[in-house]
Amino acid sequence: MRACSRYLLTSAVALLLAGPALANDAVNKLTKDPANWAMQLGNYYGQRYSTLDQITKDNVQDLRVAWTFSTGVLRGHEGGPLVVGDTMYIHTPFPNIVYALDLKDQGRVKWKYEPRQDASVIPVMCCDTVNRGVAVAEGRVFLGQADNTLVALDANTGKELWKVQNGDAGKGETLTAAPVVVKDKVLVGISGGEFGVRGHLTAYDVKSGKQAWRAYSTGPDKDVKIDPKKTLMLGKPIGETDLGVKTWPGEEWKIGGGTTWGWYTYDPELNLIYYGTGNPGTWNPKQRAKDGKREGSDNKWSMTIFARDADTGEVKWLYQKTPFDEWDYDGVNENVLADVTMDGKKRKVLINMDRNGFGYTLDRVTGELLVAEKYDPSVNWADRVDKKTGRPVVNEKYSTFANGEDTNSKGVCPAALGSKDQQPSAFSPDTGLLYVPTNHICMDYEPFQVSYVAGQPYVGATLSMYPAPNSHGGMGNFIAWDPVAGKVKWSKPEKFAVWSGALATKAGVGFYGTLEGFLVAFDMNNGKELWRFKTPSGIIGNVNTYMHNGKQYIAVLSGIGGWAGIGLAAGLTEPNAGLGAVGAHATLGEYTQLGGVLTVFELGSRRQSAELKSK
């Protein structure tokens, strides 16, 4: 492993603090102050990094509970709290309540917004009734509701300012992603890949809610906003037209998935938005094969990283990670932006730890592929990624479409849960490392023929999942990844899949949560565990930090659920239920139960910590 000192890193935080005029000025002002946690991913670069340094390796063991708040909602609590000045904004799963809490009074409720939604949307939410959080900008709080309503609230009162409809639940469309405000627009995606939804990203005017542009994931170039003469793939113009149609059989692209329920990052200097698209519909690859062949059936532009112009939505460049996906390796994971030195050359890069088990580093200006390596040794569906073509070299033994037919494949690694799902990683410009929550789970995959009916599941596969063989006996690892070398620096095992978002800090102390409900602090240099605390329920939310009245706090939402915890969240017990996830986490109920609780931690004295432990 090369020493971290070889990096010549430029802090993305410093770039943001410079406040380029292209970014939203209000958001820049909020993220400029490290006392706030004003975006779900911490900043436009998606680094989940804080310059706060009161909590150190020497005193982190003195963390204690400062106060707690019950959300009043069960099911899975993804995302995390935002902090702006004296106010914390938190959200819940369906019915998507938003609370504004007074930090001057231990979380007193300043206002509460509870939308009226038809509960009939719940059955068309693929993997629990989750929501990944709100956005705050220009005195407004933006919420994407499960029923596809995007609403703008007054940040001081909770009063509705405007709302628009982003989709149709009758077609299986839902809204679970956290919005992001870029310049004068609020961006939001769509969920429903398991219902044959055609994915899109949409920009709305911050002040009025009027739609500015919508870009689809599949279909003709005009819908996807591609100019094949200008749009780059692997650093070169695409050239061929309408690949979003030609690489599908018939009109399958119209129900082609590629939904956009993950995270969005942004480079203010380049004025580019980055995000990923999900799995193609259906999960049965045979139904997506042209002329019964894998060749020519890439199902573009599912499973793709897009770089789009923030003003127009036009595509600058794109890269498809898993063409003709045969395993449900949704490509929506966060795209972390960082500035590094590679081979003596300074690079603006994008780092993506994909569900498919490969860690990618790309030039975020041109889309050139720089690194593509496995970050879990159990990954077997592909042997490697060909750097010249950018394509994975598929291992036919684990194909679900071998010899042009549906194939029942056993021992496929990773499972559809991925080596990492949407739970966001953290990047430290100090160490040059990415801190990644990972899963260590494999599967058996049985495709079957399925017909499309609007609003009905369009899956076409039965899955069973289980811990990866020859592992440490657990289903999770928390790792430090070198995005330049494409190597794991250290790995920390966990009993269950690690399903929370990570946090990195200037003091060299990082944090993540576990499915059993533990909040864990670790040394960012070597992974050594520094502290562990059991919260009331399993953690699938993202750990945040902020400062108030001169004191640094750590905050996290706990509430088991999401795809990993769907068995507990929805009361499912059959092993293949929950699209196969129930069996993988069959024993999770022995360690945690449902709940929806915000826990806020502060440093206490050594004496106070000892007294708490003795009780």
Catalytically active residues, by annotation: 328
Number of residues that make up the chain: 615
Cα→Cα distances 105→36, 67, 395, 555, 615, Å = 17, 10, 58, 16, 26
**Residues sharing a CB contact under 8 Å with residue 14, sequence separation 6 or more, in sequence order:** none
Helix, strand, or coil here: 568? Answer: helix
**Residues sharing a CB contact under 8 Å with residue 571, sequence separation 6 or more, in sequence order:** none
Tokens for 111, please give them: 């206002």
Per the CB < 8 A criterion, the answer to whether 491 and 434 are in contact is no
| 149-154 and 140-144 beta bridge pairing | antiparallel
List the alpha helices (DSSP H) in 185-324.
221-224, 243-246
Tokens for 439, please give them: 């899963």
Per the CB < 8 A criterion, the answer to whether 85 and 416 are in contact is no
| 253-263 per-residue burial string, b: 16 or more CB within 10 A, e: under 16 | bebbbbbbbbb
**Residues sharing a CB contact under 8 Å with residue 135, sequence separation 6 or more, in sequence order:** 39, 40, 82, 141, 142, 178, 179, 180, 181, 186
| 476-482 and 487-494 beta bridge pairing | antiparallel
Measured distance CA(18)–CA(13) in Å, rounded: 9
Measured distance CA(579)–CA(583) in Å, rounded: 10
